C-alpha cells in the first residue's frame, strides 16, 4: 500500500516514469482479470493497453487518492464490459463474425489445461455475475466499490456474487462427479 | 475427487503473463507521452505530500501500524506473566530487559504486503528495519525513540530514490497514551500485558526448539487507537524457549474497519537474536545524495 501511495504521489506530481512502475507492477493481474472477463487473451491485452493509454493521457489532470489496484481493476472491468457489449451487438448484426465466444470449450484453455474447467465454467456465467465474482474474489474489491462501479445497489452486487459462486460451484462439482 | 469448496482459492490460481507485444506497446506509449511532456513541460503543482498521503485516515492507522510493530516487539521484550510448567515468565522479563540489542525477521502475511520479509535491528533507543523483496533491500526505516515527546521515522525508498520523514507525537498519537512514561519502562509494559485477558497455549516445538506460549485476543492490549476503529479483532501469540527463556516466535493478527475501509494486518516474527551488540552506526540514516527528500509533518502539526 505504501508503495502504491508513493507511485501515486510521483504520478500525481507529473512523474510519468512512475507509469512504467505502475504498469510493471499490475500488468499480469490486469491481463488475467481482463482475460477471465472476456475469456480471450488477445482482447484482454487490448483492454489493458487501452486502459494504460487513457491513464497516460490523463496523467496531467488526473488526481488519484484511493486504491490504485482497485482503480485499475475498475478501468479494466469498464473497458471489458464495453468491449463485450460491442461484441455482442456485432454478433447480432453479423452472425458469422469471428468473435471470441466465452461459452466455447476451446476458448477455455487460455489459463492452461489445469484451469480449463474453471475458465469454461466462468464463461458460462452471465457477464454481470462473472464481473462481480472476479472483481471481488480475484481483484479484492469490496462489494460497495463494485456497486458504485456498476451503478447498482450493493444488494444486487451481493446477489450476483451469490448466484455466481453457487453456479460455479455447482458446475465444477458436476464436472468433478462425471 | 474432492468437490470444489472454495471458489476464491481456485480463482486466485488464475495467472496470465502480459505478452512481450503488450509490454512494447505500453512502454512505447509511455515513451511517447514522456517525450511529449518534455516538450511542453510546465510547472507542475506538487501536491502537499501530507495532504495526499496523510489526509486519508486509514493511512494514519497504517502509519501507526509501523509503530505498533516496533512497539509490540519492544513490548514483548518485557512481557511478564505468572509461572507456567517450564518457562519462568519473570525471568523472561529480566533476560530481555538486559538484552543489549535484538535482531529479528518479520514476515508480513497481509494481502497488501509489498515485501517478502524485513529484518529489524532494535536497541532501547533506536530501531532500523530493512525490507527485502526478491533478495534486495527495497526500503529502510530508521526510528529514533530518543526524544521524550516525539518518535521520528525516516523511510528510505531505494527503488524510488525517495526519503520521507514522519514525526509522531507520543502524547497525542502514540498507541499508548502512557508513552510519556517511556516505552522502555518494563514495569509499565508488564502491567499493560497483565491488565489484558491472556491465556496459556501450552507447549509447541518451533524449529526444533521446545517453546511455551501465551495468547491475548483483548483489543485493550493495543491501548487507545488513533480514531474510531470498528470490529477490531486482535490475536497476539508469543512463544518462548522453555530452555533459554528467550522469545522464539511472535504471531500477530489484527483487523478492523475505519471510516468504511477494512484494515488488516498479519505477521510472523521469528529468528530472534538476543543480546546482540549492535554497531550504533547502523542506526544512522544512510541517505544517498541523489535521493529526493520529502517531508510531511505527519501527526505533529506545525
**Predicted local distance difference test score (pLDDT) of residue B52:** 34
Entry pTM: 0.57
Q: Is the pLDDT of residue B292 over 50?
A: yes
Give the chain B residue nearest A135 (alpha carbons): B11
Q: Among A28, A25, A15, A23, which Cα is nearest to A52's? A: A23
Q: Please provide the average confidence, as pLDDT, over all residues in chain B.
A: 70
Measured CA to CA, the distance from residue B103 to residue A163 in angstroms comes to 50
Residue A57 has pLDDT above 90, yes or no: no
Q: What is the DSSP string of B185-209?
A: -HHHHHHHHHTS--EEEEEEEETTE
In this predicted model, what pLDDT tens digit does every residue of A68-127 receive, in sequence order? 888 899 999 999 998 888 777 766 665 444 444 545 555 555 666 667 788 888 888 999
| Mean pLDDT confidence for B173-185 | 39
Query: Is residue A124 less than 8 Å (CB to CB) from chain B?
Result: no
Residues in chain B with CB shorter than 8 Å from the CB of A2 are 62, 114
pLDDT higher than 50, residue B90: yes
Mean pLDDT of B233-250: 83
Give yes or no for a contact between B117 and B107, defined as CB atoms under 8 angstroms apart.
yes
Highest mean pLDDT among A81-95, B54-68, B261-275: B261-275
User: For residue B44, which residues of chain A lie inside 8 Å, CB to CB?
Assistant: 13-14
Residue to mutate among B4, B48, B58, with most A CBs inside 10 A, is B4
CB contact under 8 A, B33 and A6: no
Which of these, B188, B162, B202, B201, lies nearest to B80 by C-alpha position?
B188
- CA-CA distance, B30 to A19, in Å (whole number)? 7
A51: Cα separation from own chain's centroid: 11
Determine contact: B35 vs chain A, CB below 8 A.
Answer: no
User: What part of A 144-163 touches B (C-beta under 8 Å)?
Assistant: 144
> If you average pLDDT over every residue of chain A, what do you get?
79
Q: Which residue has the higher pLDDT, A174 or A124?
A: A124
Q: By mean pLDDT, which of A159-173, B6-20, B96-110 is the weakest?
A: B96-110
Count of C-beta atoms within a 10 Å radius of residue B171: 12
Instruction: Tell me the C-alpha distance between B8 and A163, whole Å.
Output: 14
Minimum CA–CA partner of B41 in chain A: A14
Classify burial at B277, counting beta carbons within 10 Å of its beta carbon; exposed 0-12, middle 13-18, buried 19 or more: exposed
Q: Dihedral of the CA atoms B203, B206, B208, B212 (nearest 10)?
A: -30
pLDDT bin (cut points 50, 70, 90) of residue B265 is confident
| pLDDT for the residue numbered B218 | 83
Q: Quick one: pLDDT at residue A77?
A: 93
Find the helix or strand (DSSP H, E) in which B162 lies.
strand B162-169
Report the pLDDT value the prediction gives residue A113, as an integer from 0 to 100: 64
Do the bridges between strand B230-241 and strand B247-258 make them parallel or antiparallel, or are there none, so unpaired? antiparallel
What stretches of B8-161 adopt beta strand conformation (E)? 102-108, 117-122, 126-133, 136-144, 150-157
pLDDT over 60 at B23, yes or no: yes
Residue B5: pLDDT band (50, 70, 90) is low
Q: Could you tell me the three cell numbers for B178?
A: 502512557
ipTM of the complex in this document: 0.81
Q: Which residues lie across from B144 on neighbouring strands?
A: B126, B152
Residue B185, min C-alpha distance to chain A (Å): 31
DSSP strand pairing (B261-273 vs B247-258): antiparallel
Size of interface A-B (CB pairs under 8 A): 132
Put simply, the answer to whether B33 touches A19 (Cβ < 8 Å) is yes
With residue B233 as reference, give the H or E element that holds it.
strand B230-241
Query: Which tens digits make up the pLDDT trace of A152-163?
Result: 998 999 999 999
Instruction: Give yes or no for B3 touching A (CB within 8 A).
Output: yes
Residue A131 clears pLDDT 90, i.e. is over it: yes
State the Cα–Cα distance between residues A23 and A72, nearest whole angstrom. 10
Amino acid at each position: 500500500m505504501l508503495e502504491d501511495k508513493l507511485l501515486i504521489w510521483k504520478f500525481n506530481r507529473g512523474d510519468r516514469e512512475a507509469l512504467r512502475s505502475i504498469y510493471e507492477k499490475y500488468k499480469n493481474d490486469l491481463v488475467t482479470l481482463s482475460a477471465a472477463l472476456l475469456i480471450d487473451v488477445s482482447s484482454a491485452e487490448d483492454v489493458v493497453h487501452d486502459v494504460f493509454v487513457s491513464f497516460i493521457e490523463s496523467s496531467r489532470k488526473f488526481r488519484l487518492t484511493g486504491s490504485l489496484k482497485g482503480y485499475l481493476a475498475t478501468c479494466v472491468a469498464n473497458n471489458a464490459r464495453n468491449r463485450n457489449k460491442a461484441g455482442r451487438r456485432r454478433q447480432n448484426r453479423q452472425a458469422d463474425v469471428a468473435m471470441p465466444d466465452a461459452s466455447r470449450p476451446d476458448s477455455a484453455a487460455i489459463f492452461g489445461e489445469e484451469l480449463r474447467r474453471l475458465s469454461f465454467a466462468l464463461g458460462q456465467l452471465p457477464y454481470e455475475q462473472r464481473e462481480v465474482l472476479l472483481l471481488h474474489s480475484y481483484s479484492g474489491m469490496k462489494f460497495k466499490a463494485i456497486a458504485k462501479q456498476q451503478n447498482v445497489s450493493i444488494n444486487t452486487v451481493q446477489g450476483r456474487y451469490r448466484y455466481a459462486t453457487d453456479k460455479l460451484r455447482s458446475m465444477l462439482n458436476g464436472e468433478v462427479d462425471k | 475427487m474432492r468437490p470444489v469448496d472454495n471458489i476464491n482459492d481456485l480463482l486466485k490460481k488464475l495467472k496470465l503473463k502480459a505478452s512481450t507485444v503488450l509490454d512494447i506497446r505500453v512502454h512505447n506509449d509511455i515513451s511517447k507521452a514522456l517525450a511529449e511532456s518534455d516538450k511542453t513541460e510546465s510547472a507542475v503543482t506538487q501536491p502537499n505530500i501530507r495532504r495526499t498521503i496523510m489526509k486519508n485516515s486509514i493511512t494514519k492507522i497504517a502509519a501507526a501500524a509501523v509503530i505498533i510493530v516496533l512497539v509490540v516487539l519492544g513490548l514483548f521484550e518485557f512481557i511478564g506473566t505468572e509461572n507456567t510448567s517450564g518457562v519462568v515468565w519473570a525471568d523472561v522479563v529480566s533476560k530481555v530487559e538486559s538484552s543489549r540489542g535484538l535482531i529479528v525477521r518479520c514476515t508480513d502475511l497481509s494481502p497488501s504486503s509489498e515485501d517478502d520479509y524485513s529484518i529489524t535491528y532494535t536497541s532501547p533507543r533506536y530501531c532500523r528495519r530493512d525490507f527485502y523483496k526478491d533478495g534486495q533491500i527495497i526500503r529502510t526505516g530508521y526510528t529514533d525513540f530518543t526524544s521524550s515527546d516525539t518518535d521520528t521515522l525516516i523511510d528510505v525508498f531505494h527503488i524510488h530514490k525517495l526519503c520521507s520523514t514522519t514525526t509522531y507525537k507520543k502524547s497525542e498519537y502514540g498507541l499508548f497514551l502512557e508513552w510519556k512514561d517511556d516505552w522502555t519502562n518494563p514495569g509499565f509494559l508488564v502491567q499493560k500485558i497483565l491488565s489484558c485477558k491472556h491465556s496459556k497455549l501450552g507447549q509447541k516445538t518451533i524449529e526444533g526448539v521446545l517453546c511455551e506460549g501465551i495468547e491475548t485476543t483483548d483489543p485493550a492490549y493495543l491501548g487507545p487507537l488513533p480514531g474510531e476503529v470498528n470490529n477490531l479483532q486482535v490475536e497476539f501469540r508469543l512463544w518462548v524457549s522453555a530452555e533459554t527463556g528467550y522469545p522464539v516466535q511472535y504471531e500477530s493478527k489484527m483487523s478492523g474497519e475505519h471510516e468504511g475501509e477494512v484494515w488488516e494486518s498479519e505477521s510472523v516474527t521469528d529468528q530472534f537474536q538476543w543480546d546482540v551488540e549492535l554497531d550504533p552506526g547502523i542506526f544512522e540514516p544512510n541517505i544517498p545524495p541523489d535521493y529526493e527528500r520529502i517531508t510531511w509533518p505527519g501527526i505533529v502539526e506545525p
